[in-house]
Amino acid sequence: MFLKELKLNGFRNWNLGEFTFSPGLNVLCGNNAQGKTNCAEGVFFLCTGISPLASREKQVIAFGREEASVSGTAATSFGDVKVEISLKEGKRKQIKVNGATLSKAGDLLGNVNAVFFNPDELKLIKDAPSDRRRFLDVAISQLKRPYFYELLRYNKILEQRNRLLKEEDEETVWETLPVWDEQLAEAGSYIMVQRQEFCEKLAPYAKAAHAALTAGKEELVISPECKFTGDQKTIFHAFFEGLARRREQDLRAGFTTVGPHRDDLKIEINGSDVKTYCSQGQKRSAALSIKLAELDIMRAETGEYPLFILDDVLSELDKDRQKRLLSKLSGVQTVLTATHLDEEVFQGLSYRLFTVDHGTYTVREEKG
């Protein structure tokens, strides 16, 4: 699938940006602070309704404006999909797909898939387990909408259970906990099974992508770190019992100490934990390999590659890794941002070049 057109209206520093993208490689080039990342963010936002960068969604509305809209049309194997998203201060965002308003924002997922990567994604390797869980959650949700809704349900139940754990009246707590435990185990076991299945599929693709990126010098191994494993029924019982066993501990802590909200993803290169032992460049490459693997998984599951958004990534890699990365992207629509282009790296490649300047651009075709 590929995005044909994108319109950013009052989105970040794009007062009005209308883009016609190439189905292949699109390069947004320009000085710092001109709007390249903002456009890349807009592409992902159009596809998923999620900003990969804003902590609060309304941050994307241009300064001094009260509303923003992002719209565009993608070509997919099911035909053209037109997506329109509008955001207003103080209101819920409105999403239309092919003219019909969605009742739930999550229903946008899976229409036009996208993978976003920027230097911040290093948090996938470096930071807290929550960043790795977020990666899994966004990736799986795009492939399986029920996962997204089950995750929302899980988080709601978890919040209620945690609130109960802080309750003063002990009798109420002990009487009510089993009810929440059962619901939590139900939603949680589904999430854990889906994450395990996804990781199993992701691992060989990530290993292959990393071998290609490092010319076979490094072996990347990823595996889920889950408290409970097995099929959903087995996990349900183990998780339910685990919750019952930890009631005292949870009460003392004031929150739920076991469940998929505490799981992690283990990432190793040549047998060493990447977070603790690997160089910056290795971490970056590992994060990139995992994202490349996400492209492959989506292709395997849906029959089409998603859009690939590569924000500011080339400057972080050595020239060999840059060339190997770009050579892997044939057949994948890519939106890539950079402050300058290294002729040697781009030699022989065809791409559409958008030179971005203060929320506007000029465009040129480069034929390799």
Ligand X SMILES: Nc1ncnc2c1ncn2[C@@H]1O[C@H](COP(=O)(O)OP(=O)(O)OP(=O)(O)O)[C@@H](O)[C@H]1O
- Are 3 and 112 contacting, i.e. CB atoms less than 8 angstroms apart? yes
Q: Is 34 in the site for Mg ion (CB under 5 A)?
A: no
Which of 34, 37, 333, 334 contacts Mg ion by CB under 5 A? Answer: 37
- Among 9, 22, 26, 38, the residue binding ligand X under the rule CB under 6 A is 38
Distance (Å, rounded) from C-alpha 309 to C-alpha 155? 29
Instruction: Please select the residue that binds ligand X; options are 56, 63, 169, 248, rule is CB under 6 A.
Output: 63
* Residue from the set 1, 6, 9, 12 that interacts with ligand X by CB under 6 A: 12
Q: Is 282 in the site for ligand X (CB under 6 A)?
A: no
The residue within the footprint of ligand X, chosen from 22, 26, 34, 256 (CB under 6 A), is: 34
How many residues form the binding site for ligand X (CB under 6 A)?
A: 18
Q: How far is the CB of 312 from Mg ion (least distance, A)?
A: 5
Structure tokens at 361: 């651009």
- Minimum CB distance to ligand X smaller for 30 or for 242: 30
Q: Distance between CA atoms of 146 and 128, rounded to whole angstroms?
A: 26
* Bridge partner residues of 28 (DSSP): 337, 354
Give the residue with the Cβ less far from ligand X, 121 or 312: 312
Q: Return the number of the residue (33 or 179) whose C-beta is nearest ligand X.
A: 33
Residue nearest to Mg ion (CB): 37
Collapse the DSSP code of 128 into the 3-class scheme (helix H, G, I; strand E, B; otherwise coil) and give the result: coil
- Per CB under 5 A, the segment of 34-42, 193-201, 203-211, 289-297 that binds Mg ion is 34-42
Binding ligand X (rule: CB under 6 A), the pick from 9, 37, 194, 334 is: 37
Write the single-letter amino acid at 78.
F
Rounded Cα distance, 354 and 36, in Å: 9
Contact pattern from residue 310 through residue 349 relative to ligand X, giving x for each residue in contact according to CB under 6 A and a dash for the rest: --x------------------------x-x----------
Question: Strands, E, within the chain: which ranges?
Answer: 2-11, 14-20, 25-29, 67-76, 79-88, 94-97, 100-101, 114-117, 220-225, 264-269, 272-273, 307-311, 334-338, 351-357, 360-366
Closer Cβ to ligand X, 119 or 331, answer by number: 119
Distance CA 105, CA 294 (A): 22
Query: Under the criterion CB under 6 A, does residue 253 sit at the interface with ligand X?
Result: no
Instruction: Report, in Å, the least distance between residue 42 CB and ligand X.
Output: 10
Q: Does 36 bind ligand X (CB under 6 A)?
A: yes
CB–CB of 254/239 below 8 Å?
A: no
Q: Tell me how many degrees the CA angle 261-264-269 measures, rounded to the nearest 5.
A: 170
* Residue 35 near ligand X by CB under 6 A: yes
With beta carbons less than 8 A apart as the criterion, state whether 54 and 60 touch. Answer: yes
CA angle 251, 195, 295 (to 5 degrees): 145
Residue 32 contact partner, candidates ligand X, Mg ion, none, CB within 5 to 8 A by sort of partner:
ligand X
Binding site for ligand X (CB under 6 A): 12-13, 30, 32-38, 59-63, 312, 337, 339
